Structure 1
Amino acid sequence: MMEAERRLLANALLDFSNQRFILLSESCIPLFNFNFVYSYLINSTTSFVAAFDDPGSSGRGRYNRRMAPIIPASCWRKGSQWFELGRGLAHEVVSDNYFFPVFRRFCHPSCYVDEHYLPTMLTMRFAPRIANRSITWVDWSHPSAHPTRFIRPAVTVALLRWIRGSTACKYNGRNTMNCFLFARKFHPNSLTRLLRFAPKVMGFGGRR
């Protein structure tokens, strides 16, 4: 999967007008209108990649000691695959021939490259350039191998407003409640309700 993501980045980099690169899935929805999202990303001084040290079986438990010394155990990180990268970091990911071969050789299930490669590599080499958080909201509140999936009845104005403003974070060194620009996983049958709420909640159809 990470090889496919690197190819996507490589093709997107061919267009020199592309400055920010976001990986989203078909179940993601925007939480703000285009103008807000564009301004948020283009003016950010960091890229948005989550990276943390997980002491459990799905974190450190996936580390293969044969990755050392290129990737020491102390530098092993986990994060979300739903990244956002500025052009400079996207180029570094595509051109990386030092860390990625180690993952290709030693990270196999139950180690998942898409959850560990970017968090580990970027933390080791470019830590000051990542915000250490994702801009895609996901509900992991229920114990499961997969996040909560929102079907039509679950989609309400209250839910969307809560997702948009329930978390505090840093943006360019300042406190903000606008931490997430996208959310997942939304079932296709929720589209009609999302379209109905979008102008009122997300500012679609006008300036925010």
Structure 2
Amino acid sequence: MKNLFNIYIHADPSHPYNPPFSGHFFNRTIRSSKPTQRGSPSLIASARRLLSEALLDDPSNARFIILSTSCIPLHSFNFTYNMLFQTNKSFIEILKGEPKSFVRYTARGNADIMLPEIPFEDFRIGSQFFILNRHHAKLVVNDEKLWRKFKLPCVFPKYCYPEEQYFSTLLNMEDSSSCIPATLTHVDWSKRLGSHPWTYRDTEIGMELIESLRQRELRYGNGGVENQTEAARVDPNYSFLFARKFSRNCLKPLLDIAGDLILKN
């Protein structure tokens, strides 16, 4: 199994931590890691650095999955691997007409700042947790045209979450037909805390929670899944492969059920 995947870690060097001395995460932190800040272009830059490292490090890398430290797997490695290789398309949320889309578009001052490269009708919003094929990973790291706009500082930071806009807009403009417009990382926005989704606590962890997250229906963007016939043709029952956000206190109860459920093929 080990030769089927590589792990790359972007660790903010301004926050010291004790790196692992063995296991899959040993010596996997990329040297180009830099400080990041939520709601800033630094999160786009960190994802671009990760993708660049993965592209250069191993030419056999075919799927590029962005996850956070608060993400957990919902299925075994074999289930996840087999599902991802049913199609060569990328899984990325591409949402059109979301609430407050225009104020997000103009967060850098006004609409003219994004022009002519990014007309408002091409602007999209989506999760920063995506799964790209190799072609799209290259497209992201080689892009300069849209990156030049999205790395500009925001005048209205309340509406500025460029990491939730850049990737979806870029893939929508450059190759939307090769994307399944949905994220495979579930978040619970029904109990949001301000601009943050719900963070699960250790008292909530159990087999029932994992089973329920597996059964949640994906939200397809860009007009719905009927416009993305690949999704229906390959497997009408695509399910979430990951979920977030889970607090650190969830680790023990998650490990307690991992063998009987999460990691069981």
TM-score in terms of structure 1 length:
0.90
Aligned with residue 117 of structure 1, among 166, 176, 179: 166
User: Retained in 2: the 8 A contact 1:45–1:172?
Assistant: no
Q: 2:89 aligned with 1:29, yes or no?
A: no
Structure 1 8/190 Cα, relative in aligned 2: closer, same or farther at 3 Å? same
Instruction: Name the amino acid aligned to 1:31.
Output: L
| Displacement of 1:71 | 0.7
2:26 corresponds in structure 1 to: none
| Displacement of 1:34 | 0.6
1:140 corresponds in structure 2 to: 189
| Displacement of 1:55 | 4.2
TM-score in terms of structure 2 length:
0.72
| Displacement of 1:202 | 2.1
SS at match of 1:173: helix
Aligned with residue 142 of structure 2, among 70, 95, 100: 95
| Displacement of 1:165 | 1.5
> Residues of 2 paired with 1:13 and 1:89: CA distance?
11
Instruction: Name the amino acid aligned to 1:189.
Output: N
Aligned with residue 149 of structure 1, among 199, 210, 213: 199
Q: 2:211 aligned with 1:173, yes or no?
A: no
| Displacement of 1:89 | 0.3
| Displacement of 1:97 | 1.5
> Residues of 1 paired with 2:153 and 2:114: CA distance?
7
Q: 2:241 aligned with 1:194, yes or no?
A: no
> Residue deviations 1:109-135, cap 9 Å, x none?
332220100111111111111111001
> Residues of 2 paired with 1:148 and 1:48: CA distance?
23
Q: 2:117 aligned with 1:62, yes or no?
A: no
Q: Which runs of 5+ in 2 are unaligned?
A: 1-42, 220-224
Instruction: Name the amino acid aligned to 1:165.
Output: Q
Q: CA RMSD in A?
A: 1.9
SS at match of 1:24: coil
Bigger RCO of structures 1 and 2 (CA < 8 A, at least 6 apart) = 1
Structure 1 168/22 Cα, relative in aligned 2: closer, same or farther at 3 Å? closer
2:175 corresponds in structure 1 to: 126
User: Retained in 2: the 8 A contact 1:46–1:172?
Assistant: no
